[in-house]
């Protein structure tokens, strides 16, 4: 980058929560995690991927994922959220932006997510054609407080930095 070229940057944040139920798989960051409970939703209810998608859309003021993939549309029933993520990334790329980095937090009381974090980072980075070191995924509990602490749901937060040269 020379002096007369300016790099544009945009930041976005995303939040999502889904209810835990007994008859669904638990999919986080595209990884199927063995657990007695799974997340309820119209798509595969991948709360982490949804937070990242909302952060990407938010960075460009493009609205939220409910606008692009409405829960009333049968087309997205049971959808693989990584496929939805690639569609959102297409919107970002069409506007000439790329990802600088992503950072995210999954808040879940159980199960232990640490053994699955590397795989989540690889999956998300693979879809976005970036390096796993550009995708931060952290996991924490809610210290048994509130709905997440009572294992009624799992929530996720994400921030995304977009760059344009
Ligand atoms: Zn969601």
CATH number of the domain at 140, please: 3.30.1330.50
The total of structural domains in the chain comes to: 1
**Residue 51: inside a domain:** yes
Q: What is the reported pLDDT for 6? A: 80
How far is ligand 1, taken at its centre, from the CA of residue 46, in Å? Answer: 6
Structural domain harbouring 14: 8-164
Rounded-to-integer distance, Cα 108 and Cα 147, Å: 10
**Residue 2: inside a domain:** no
How far is ligand 1, taken at its centre, from the CA of residue 44, in Å? Answer: 9
How far is ligand 1, taken at its centre, from the CA of residue 5, in Å? Answer: 38
**Residue 102: inside a domain:** yes
Average pLDDT per block of 10 residues along the chain, 165 residues long: 76 98 97 98 96 98 94 92 97 97 98 98 98 98 97 98 94
Task: Name the pTM for this structure.
Answer: 0.95
CB 48, CB 135: distance < 8 Å? no
Q: What is the reported pLDDT for 146? A: 98
């Amino acid at each position: 980058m020379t002096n007369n070229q300016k790099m544009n940057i945009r930041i976005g944040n995303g939040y999502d929560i889904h209810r835990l139920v007994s008859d669904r798989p638990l999919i986080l960051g595209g990884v199927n995690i063995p657990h007695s409970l799974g997340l309820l939703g119209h798509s595969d209810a991948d709360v982490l991927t949804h937070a990242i998608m909302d952060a990407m859309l938010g960075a460009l003021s493009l609205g939220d994922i409910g606008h692009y993939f409405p829960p009333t549309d049968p087309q997205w029933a049971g959808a693989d959220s990584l496929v939805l993520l690639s569609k959102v990334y297409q919107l970002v790329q069409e506007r000439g932006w790329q990802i600088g980095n992503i950072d995210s937090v999954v808040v879940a009381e159980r199960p232990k997510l640490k053994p699955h974090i590397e795989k989540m980072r690889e999956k998300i980075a693979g879809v976005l054609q970036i390096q796993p070191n550009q995708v931060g995924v952290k996991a924490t509990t809610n210290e048994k407080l509130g709905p997440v602490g009572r294992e009624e749901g799992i929530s996720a937060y994400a921030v995304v930095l977009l760059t344009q040269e």
